[in-house]
Amino acid sequence: MIHAYTGDGKGKTTAAIGLLIRAFGAGRRVGIIFFDKGSETYRHNELVVLDRLGIDYHITGLERMKPDGTFRFGNTDEDLVEGQRGVALAKKYLQERNFDLLVLDEALTSCSVKLLKKEELVELIEMTPESTELVLTGRCNDKELLERADLVTSMNKHKHYFDRGVKARPGIEY
């Protein structure tokens, strides 16, 4: 089945990792590829657990925090190369590695910000074997793309503390 966890509220990546842990607990072969998450400045703490459990993961994407602390938006050629590296890794997982569950974290966001092409995501969806669960996360307004999934859950932001200026906290946001 193809899952899509989307929307503007919190919980997309945590839901995907929760499912990954559950499947791993059931003895399934699982893996996760993070898109556009190369920032060393906020190395995600879930990676500590994946390391400990020996779960396969790859991080793609370049640093987006500038020396002055502001964020760099838009995609350079190097960013696009990183996107392609993620797609190639995903293809390899789906074609060669016989995984039961593969998470492509922020793949939907990456598509929304044109780091990936929609056709590339569609191709990944189409090449997913019957026996593999593919989980895509991230914000996405492309109804046609979401239609390709068997399950779409939207996390809707009813309220979020970042609207009152609370900064991202280790262990909660990353």
Task: Kindly tell me which of 14 and 39 has the beta carbon lying closer to ligand ATP.
Answer: 14
Distance CA 89, CA 81 (A): 12
Q: Are 140 and 15 in contact (CB under 8 A)?
A: no
Task: Kindly tell me which of 52 and 71 has the beta carbon lying closer to ligand ATP.
Answer: 71
Instruction: Quote the crossing angle between the two packed helices 118-127 and 77-96, to the nearest 10°.
Output: 10
Subset of 9-68 contacting Mg ion (CB under 5 A): 12-13
Task: Kindly tell me which of 91 and 152 has the beta carbon lying closer to ligand ATP.
Answer: 152
Subset of 128-147 contacting ligand ATP (CB under 6 A): 137
Residue 3 as a binder of ligand ATP (CB under 6 A): the answer is no
Residue 14 as a binder of ligand ATP (CB under 6 A): the answer is yes
Q: Residue 167: what residue type?
A: K
Site string for Mg ion, 64-103 (x = CB under 5 A): ----------------------------------------
Distance CA 5, CA 18 (A): 12
Q: Residue 29: what residue type?
A: R
Residue 37 as a binder of ligand ATP (CB under 6 A): the answer is no
Residue 42 as a binder of ligand ATP (CB under 6 A): the answer is no
Strand ordering across the sheet containing 56-59: 56-59, 30-34, 101-105, 133-137, 2-6, 151-154
Q: Please, what is the minimum distance in Å from the beta carbon of residue 14 to ligand ATP?
A: 3
Distance CA 149, CA 153 (A): 10
Give residues in contact with Mg ion (CB under 5 A): 12-13
